[in-house]
Structure 1
Amino acid sequence: MGYNSPTPVQEQAIPLILEGQDMIACAQTGTGKTAAYLLPLIDRISHGNYDHTSTLILVPTRELAKQIDEQVEGFGYFASVSSIAIYGGNKGDDWDLQKRALTTGADIIIATPGRLLSHLAMGYVKLDQLNHLVLDEADKMLDMGFMDDLLKIISQLPKKRQTLLFSATMPRKIRDLAQQILQNPAEINLAVAKPAEGIDQRIYLTYDNQKLPLLEHILRELDVQSMIIFTSRKSNVNPIVRSLQKLKFTAEGISSDMTQDEREKALQGFKNKQYQIVVATDILSRGIDIDSLSHVVNFDMPQDAEDYVHRVGRTARAASTGMAITFVNEKDMYRVQKVERLIEREVPKLPLPDDFGPGPAYDPGKRHDGGSPRHRSGGRPGAGGKDHRSKHHGGGSKHTGRRHEDGNSRPIKPASHTPRPQGEGEAAVAVGGGEKKKRNNRNRNRNRGGEGNKPQGENQQPAS
């Protein structure tokens, strides 16, 4: 499979796991954490002659569960080790297949917490003899709200077991979880929260309605073999895909609104080079291994600095090289400082192309709330220069304040409007309705308990 020498995390983790020690391991994404625990566990299972499910691996997303299941099949080809991936979002037939595997006792179960709890509630899952528990991407599981589910599952496992916790970051909540579930763990810390050295990181300061023209420019200028474009809003995925397809790029989208079959088909098509570009939410930011990914684009700045590390870590994996480009609008500049403090380096801010007009000035110390007079005057797209929509979009229709869900190439509203994130089912505030109307809508949002201020992303707990 091309493994000739161990990565640092593999070199340190494998002996500890073979000795049966509990372990907490923190290493940057793309350094081989999955093989670091699969190889020694498969070795122990192959010599253990177990007549029960010996290993449970808990992961945050369906895609990661399926990928690890495939890796078990590859690594354990000559070891007669059986595995099953347990996750939701699929057909009813898959539930019966999962039930059959759980009742007959696969050696390794790889599961998302919600779906495993659904099976446990039915009473036919027996994990009372479990030997090894692995929590992979533990920080992401906690970010997604799985803490209670994890503790419910762990309460049904035998106290005497080997527990391995793998995470790309080590916040306080991970330390607290480790204290609850690990016994005298060994600890591995390798280059925590820093992207790989081979990533060429770049930032463009841009208004929202400059982003698609800038993306088109980048795609024309750079040698892009394969690219993931990340957006924090799943409502942006399809409009961006449609815009790319109009520009004759092969592109597909992946978000939690898609069925599991649709997600798997899109991801497999991207891995097989059927698509040059995939547009995705953060469900693809963790653990997904794609060979020769040349570019990552953050269409918008991630909510958390750690999410930036995971997103850009999709490229330059396994000591290769790659480029990560991030678009930062005037509202998100303060997030840049947080990222740079975390990765302990400054990311270059590149000027926009000559015919784009000016972007927003870099002012990381200011947080914009979308309502100050200075923000409104400074937020006009191309203020002080020409509006480039006519050049790059053929003089498209005048913006009317409608949500762009009908094929319009701009998936988000222009910066002159500065939309506030909306709660589900909440009507958009029309452009040109007057400052008083905007303030009234904001006040109503606050009176609803702040729901209108929550970003709409992937950080809500997913269906099992």
Structure 2
Amino acid sequence: MNFHEFGFDDDLLDGIYAMGYETATPIQEKVIPPIIEGRDIIASAQTGTGKTAAFLLPVLHNLLTSPNDEHSINAMVIVPTRELAIQISQTLEGLTYYTSISSIAVYGGTGGASFAAEKKALSAGVDIVICTPGRMIAHLNMGYVNVKQLKYLVLDEADRMLDMGFHDDIIKIISYLPKERQNLMFSATMPPKIKQLALKILQNPVGIALALNKAPEKIVQEVFMIQEQQKIGLVKHVLSQKQFDSVIVFCSSKQNVKQLYAALKQARFSIEMIHSDLEQDKREQALLDFKNKKLKILVATDILSRGIDIEDIDLVINYDVPKDAEDYIHRIGRTARAASDGTAYTFVSGKEMGRFSRIEKTLGRPVPRGTVPEQFGPPPAARPPRSERPEGRNGKRPGGHKPGDKQRFKRKSKPKPRQQPGTP
């Protein structure tokens, strides 16, 4: 479906085509018409499906074709991270280049000058605000944020915001907003907590869901069974065997990010790292240099796995196995975006085999196994299922229980005070 078929404002269409957009993605085709009609939306779709444009375009169209209060905030987009706020703000600037729409990104980790600029826009009025919860609450608490005429509220990556503990912050922000407004909720997954939040916020919503547990077919996936202590060596080997222009390596902890970064930096790879301990300006610069191809490799935590739109990534490496299938899909979905192909490698140590097996079960098929070079030694031994683990000398399995025993827990009694010699 071509974008002109939605009936968008002409100035907005100029921005759409200037950004290189031609045909709508499936999620855009499904959500744009009901948003233009004024319906509340709850939509789920995996990364790389075009969710950002799916809510920005109809909101922009409605702002351009209906009267609005220029002294109020007219639309608010709440996101979990600063990186996503910046990403959406940049997309918004491109789409609105030929229009009079104003916008501002509001997020923490910046200095006093940025806070003052945010205060001025939030009090004087701005068409669209993209914000993180904590920073917006800081402004709301000071009493100058003008949201009296707000018409649109968007919650992007709602599941991640709840995972990060922002439920109460979201509810507090909403308490400041007019009750009559249009609500749009986008989430990669739909656990019960998201449905409960939707019941509190949305009014008779249109529900739209795209497949969440299916990776893009253009991604070549491989799994490498490797000893934990050999992972750094295998990363070096992979990066040395072929010329990659753009690589993201995902680690599950800041400690692993720092350790891998130091090893690859010492090996003279073109590399930077992104994690939550890094200062905001350094994170932004690393991301900008990576987008502009000034550096080839980013080592990052899952802070980079969602909502960051970077095209032409050749390779994604899961240095650590992600916690579940959704995170796996979000990570590898950084590659094979737009019309490009991509490759995703996952390194699995012995202790991670069970977790990756559960991911494969959710995906509905096994991921092809890659060959680890002989110099890395034998692969880790798979841990047998509990039912097949050997019994101890007392006929019990590890954990102290015989097969079929029910585990019982006894309350520990409070020790009696010791009597002194000579006391009754």
- TM-score normalised by the chain length of structure 1: 0.77
CA contact 1:335–1:364 (8 Å) conserved in 2:
no
Of 39, 54, 59, which residue of structure 2 is paired with 1:36? Answer: 54
Q: Distance in 2 between matches of 1:198 and 1:366?
A: 37
The residue type equivalent to 1:9 in the other structure is I
Matches within 5 A, 1:7-406: 7-51=25-69, 52-363=72-383, 365=385
Instruction: Percent identity, please.
Output: 53
The residue type equivalent to 1:29 in the other structure is T
CA contact 1:90–1:259 (8 Å) conserved in 2:
no
The residue type equivalent to 1:65 in the other structure is A
- Pick closer, same or farther for the CA change 1:364–1:147 going to 2, 3 Å: farther
The residue type equivalent to 1:349 in the other structure is R
Aligned to 1:6: 24
CA contact 1:169–1:193 (8 Å) conserved in 2:
no
Aligned to 1:390: none
CA contact 1:22–1:185 (8 Å) conserved in 2:
yes
Indicate the RMSD between aligned Cα atoms, in angstroms. Answer: 1.7
CA contact 1:200–1:322 (8 Å) conserved in 2:
yes
Q: Distance in 2 between matches of 1:321 and 1:82?
A: 36
User: What's the offset of the Cα at 1:364?
Assistant: 7.4
Secondary structure of the corresponding residue to residue 310 of structure 2: coil
Q: Distance in 2 between matches of 1:345 and 1:166?
A: 27
Q: Distance in 1 between matches of 2:118 and 2:61?
A: 24
Q: Distance in 1 between matches of 2:117 and 2:213?
A: 38
User: What's the offset of the Cα at 1:363?
Assistant: 4.2
| Structure 2 gaps, min length 5 | 1-18, 393-424
User: What's the offset of the Cα at 1:201?
Assistant: 1.4
CA contact 2:106–2:129 (8 Å) conserved in 1:
yes
CA contact 1:205–1:361 (8 Å) conserved in 2:
no
Secondary structure of the corresponding residue to residue 234 of structure 2: helix
Q: Distance in 1 between matches of 2:238 and 2:288?
A: 25
CA contact 2:212–2:326 (8 Å) conserved in 1:
no
CA contact 1:334–1:364 (8 Å) conserved in 2:
no
User: What's the offset of the Cα at 1:366?
Assistant: 6.1
User: What's the offset of the Cα at 1:102?
Assistant: 0.7
CA contact 1:205–1:362 (8 Å) conserved in 2:
no
- Pick closer, same or farther for the CA change 1:364–1:171 going to 2, 3 Å: farther
Deviations 1:348-386 (A, max 9, x none): 22231122110203447469xxxx99xxxxxxxxxxxxx
CA contact 1:32–1:318 (8 Å) conserved in 2:
no
User: What's the offset of the Cα at 1:336?
Assistant: 0.9
Deviations 1:119-173 (A, max 9, x none): 1111111223210000111111111111111111112211111101111111121
CA contact 1:334–1:366 (8 Å) conserved in 2:
no
Secondary structure of the corresponding residue to residue 56 of structure 1: strand
CA contact 2:213–2:329 (8 Å) conserved in 1:
yes
Aligned to 1:432: none
Q: Distance in 1 between matches of 2:237 and 2:316?
A: 15
Q: Distance in 2 between matches of 1:190 and 1:364?
A: 36
Q: Distance in 2 between matches of 1:160 and 1:64?
A: 27
Q: Distance in 2 between matches of 1:24 and 1:193?
A: 18
The residue type equivalent to 2:51 in the other structure is K
Answer with 1 or 2: which has the greater Rg.
2
Q: Distance in 2 between matches of 1:202 and 1:223?
A: 18
User: What's the offset of the Cα at 1:98?
Assistant: 0.9
CA contact 2:156–2:185 (8 Å) conserved in 1:
yes
Secondary structure of the corresponding residue to residue 110 of structure 1: strand
CA contact 2:73–2:147 (8 Å) conserved in 1:
yes
The residue type equivalent to 1:16 in the other structure is P
Q: Distance in 1 between matches of 2:178 and 2:385?
A: 51
- Pick closer, same or farther for the CA change 1:218–1:365 going to 2, 3 Å: farther
Aligned to 1:388: none
Q: Distance in 1 between matches of 2:244 and 2:382?
A: 28
- Pick closer, same or farther for the CA change 1:253–1:364 going to 2, 3 Å: farther
Q: Distance in 1 between matches of 2:78 and 2:248?
A: 25
CA contact 1:86–1:112 (8 Å) conserved in 2:
yes
| Structure 1 gaps, min length 5 | 374-464
